[in-house]
């Protein structure tokens, strides 16, 4: 009897939303082939875990070769990602490159290997993890925000190009969720107490940490993605976020830049005694 179990390949599956999504797909009956840099191969928790570094062309090719020998992908879910916290001025070009190479170009590398397989099959589903930050920017996450904006534009192009081949594309735009590892959230090397942005940076990163620590349940996100992938047709965008984060997107879309800026500044930059950043330091008004 023909095996009707569908197969999904998941990148960035060792932690965070990638892990929770992979486990939800496993529980939903998918054969999960999971990739991450920390994996060494073999079975774990009902999933096949293969080594994968999405920034390395050879690693991507090797993962795809080994995974295809097990089963070609009915769906590809791309979750590999990282961020660097730092001011635009003090985040180095190397740090920007590292984030873009993982979050955006990692997806490009995987798609280049997987698309020929899906075209040959005449069908397939590709899920790209973007973020609320793919729709709006917040202070001190410029590298991450830039990478997610790149994914948004790339996905629009991709969806138009592959539609004639029966391939569907979906952007997932999560808000804050309780997940992830601090090793994938480093601070820019130049961000020190001597930085002219120090006070605002401390305020903003404390708010970011609070929102992530008190974010939504990542298991719920994983189950939602599994249910969507079970459908014959999948939406191009799926935002999975709290009510206030949905509202932030609508406010950003329909209000002017000045009003948006004032709202975000008030939310993220709360320096002691209401002080504002000034050139060369953090003096009070």
In CATH, what number is assigned to the domain containing residue 42? 3.40.50.720
- Give the pLDDT band of residue 3 (cuts 50, 70, 90): low
- The reply to whether 109 falls in a domain is yes
Q: What is the mean pLDDT of residues 211-227?
A: 90
- The reply to whether 279 falls in a domain is no
C-alpha to C-alpha distances, 222 to 25, 26, 28, 163, 225, nearest whole angstrom: 7, 10, 10, 25, 5
**pLDDT tens sequence across 19-29:** 999 999 999 99
| Cα angle: 213, vertex 136, 277; to 5 degrees | 80
- Domain of residue 197 covers 7-274
pLDDT at position 274 is 43
CA distance 186 to 179: 15
Does the pLDDT of residue 122 top 50, yes or no? yes
Does the pLDDT of residue 180 top 70, yes or no? no
- The reply to whether 284 falls in a domain is no
Q: What is the mean pLDDT of residues 254-274?
A: 79
- Report the mean per-residue pLDDT for the chain: 90
pTM of structure? 0.89
The DSSP secondary structure of the chain, one letter per residue, reads ------EEEEESTTSHHHHHHHHHHHHTTPEEEEEETT--SSEETTEEEEE--TT-HHHHHHHHHHHHHH---SEEEE------BB-TTTS-HHHHHHHHHHHTHHHHHHHHHHHHHHHHHT-EEEEEE--GGGTS--TTBHHHHHHHHHHHHHHHHHHHHHGGGTEEEEEEEE--BS---GGGSPBPTT--TTSTTHHHHHHHHHHHHHHHHT-B-HHHHHHHHHHHHTSSS--SEEEE--HHHHHHHHHHHHS-HHHHHHHHHHHH---GGG---BTTB----
Terminal Cα distance for the chain, rounded: 75
- The reply to whether 214 falls in a domain is yes
- The reply to whether 285 falls in a domain is no
Most confident of 90-94, 191-195, 206-210, 242-246: 90-94
Q: What is the mean pLDDT of residues 221-237?
A: 97
CA distance 153 to 149: 7
Would residue 130 show up in a list of annotated catalytic residues for this protein? yes
Residues 6+ apart with CB under 8 A from 18: 10, 11, 12, 34, 36, 77, 79, 80, 129
Q: Number of folded domains in the chain?
A: 1
Would residue 147 show up in a list of annotated catalytic residues for this protein? no
Does the pLDDT of residue 82 top 90, yes or no? yes
**pLDDT tens sequence across 98-119:** 999 999 999 999 999 999 999 9
- Max Cα distance, the chain (Å): 75
Does the pLDDT of residue 86 top 80, yes or no? yes
pLDDT at position 59 is 98
Pairwise pLDDT comparison (14 vs 251), residue with the higher score: 14
pLDDT at position 184 is 52
Query: Of 87, 104, 125, 130, which residue is the catalytic one?
Result: 130
Does the pLDDT of residue 213 top 50, yes or no? yes
Q: Out of 175-184, 229-238, 270-279, pick the least confident.
A: 270-279
CB environment 62-82: b (16+ within 10 A), e (fewer): ebbebbbeebbbbbbbbbbbb
pLDDT at position 192 is 83
- The reply to whether 45 falls in a domain is yes
- Give the pLDDT band of residue 69 (cuts 50, 70, 90): very high
C-alpha to C-alpha distances, 252 to 91, 135, 195, 260, nearest whole angstrom: 25, 8, 29, 6
Would residue 144 show up in a list of annotated catalytic residues for this protein? yes
Query: Of 104, 148, 197, 201, which residue is the catalytic one?
Result: 148
Query: Of 14, 142, 147, 195, which residue is the catalytic one?
Result: 14
Does the pLDDT of residue 281 top 60, yes or no? no
Q: Out of 121-135, 200-214, 229-243, pick the least confident.
A: 200-214
Query: Of 87, 104, 131, 144, which residue is the catalytic one?
Result: 144
pLDDT at position 163 is 98
pLDDT exceeding 70 applies to what percent of the chain? 92
C-alpha to C-alpha distances, 11 to 239, 269, 283, nearest whole angstrom: 20, 34, 45
- Give the pLDDT band of residue 258 (cuts 50, 70, 90): confident
Task: Label the pairing between strands 124-129 and 75-78.
Answer: parallel
- The reply to whether 1 falls in a domain is no
Would residue 267 show up in a list of annotated catalytic residues for this protein? no
Pairwise pLDDT comparison (170 vs 187), residue with the higher score: 170
- The reply to whether 55 falls in a domain is yes
């Amino acid at each position: 009897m023909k095996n009707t179990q569908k197969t999904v390949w998941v990148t960035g599956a060792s932690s965070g939303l990638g892990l929770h999504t992979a486990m939800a797909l496993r529980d939903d009956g998918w054969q999960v082939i999971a990739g991450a840099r920390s994996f060494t191969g073999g079975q774990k928790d009902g999933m096949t875990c293969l080594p994968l570094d999405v920034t390395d062309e050879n690693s991507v090719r090797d993962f795809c070769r080994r995974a295809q020998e097990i089963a070609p992908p009915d769906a590809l879910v791309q979750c590999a990602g990282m961020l660097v916290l730092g001011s635009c001025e003090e985040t180095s070009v190397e740090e920007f490159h590292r984030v873009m190479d993982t979050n955006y170009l990692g997806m490009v590398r995987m798609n280049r290997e997987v698309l020929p397989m899906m075209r040959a099959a005449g069908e397939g589903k590709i899920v790209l993890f973007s973020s609320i930050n793919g729709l709006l920017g917040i202070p001190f996450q410029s590298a991450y925000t830039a990478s997610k904006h790149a994914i948004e534009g790339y996905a629009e192009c991709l969806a138009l190009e592959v539609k004639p081949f029966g391939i569907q594309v979906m952007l997932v735009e999560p808000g804050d969720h309780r997940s992830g590892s601090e090793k994938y959230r480093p601070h820019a090397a130049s961000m020190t107490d001597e930085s002219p942005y120090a006070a605002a940076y401390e305020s903003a990163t404390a708010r970011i940490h609070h929102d992530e620590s008190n974010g939504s349940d990542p298991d719920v996100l994983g189950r939602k993605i599994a249910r969507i992938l079970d459908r014959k047709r999948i939406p191009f965008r799926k935002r999975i976020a709290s009510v206030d984060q949905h509202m932030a997107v609508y406010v950003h879309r329909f209000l002017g830049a000045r009003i948006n800026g004032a709202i975000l500044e008030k939310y993220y930059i709360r320096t002691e005694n209401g002080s504002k950043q000034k050139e060369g330091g953090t003096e009070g008004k």
